Amino acid sequence: MTIMSISLNDNIIKDMDNLQKELGYSGRSEMIRAGIRMLIASERENSKLSGKINGTLIVVNEEKDNEDISKIRHDHNEIIKTQIHNHMDSHKCLQIFILEGDAKKIKLLVNELQTSKKADYVKLVIP
């Protein structure tokens, strides 16, 4: 098995350690492997999407990063039918996008948000 080194901030480490205990993972490495397996499975499902689709995109970000998220959103207005923006506790925002359009364009939006350092959580739900 290959050994890799990653950098994580203190908040992620704290959350990870709490979740590890709560879910019963044997260690941090096993928890990271499980997270990577889930990401791979999700991406495999998304790669099968084609044609015109409908979906819901859930995004959580820091309130201070709303402008950056908005810039990404504006680049994809043609597939966003509705947006709900809600301020949550601890200076976070929840954004829900109702999407309709070509699967390639929807996957591009999801990818831009997932790879942005400004989005804390990004989840595409396809019925």
Model pLDDT, residue 79 = 98
Summary mean pLDDT of the chain: 94
Kindly tell me if the per-residue pLDDT of 33 is higher than 90: yes
- With a CB cutoff of 8 Å and minimum separation 6, the contacts of 124 are 46, 55, 56, 57, 58, 106, 110
Strands 119-125 and 52-62 turn out to be antiparallel
Model pLDDT, residue 43 = 87
Confidence band of 127 (pLDDT split at 50, 70, 90) = confident
Model pLDDT, residue 90 = 84
Model pLDDT, residue 95 = 96
Kindly tell me if the per-residue pLDDT of 112 is higher than 90: yes
This prediction has a pTM of 0.79
Say what percent of the chain tops pLDDT 70.
100
**Eight-class DSSP state of 18:** H
* Residue boundaries of the structural domains of the chain: 10-46, 51-125
- CATH code of the domain made up of 51-125: 3.30.70.1150
CA distance 63 to 82: 20
Q: What digits encode the pLDDT tens for the residues 40-94? A: 998 898 889 999 999 999 999 999 999 999 999 999 999 999 999 999 988 999 9
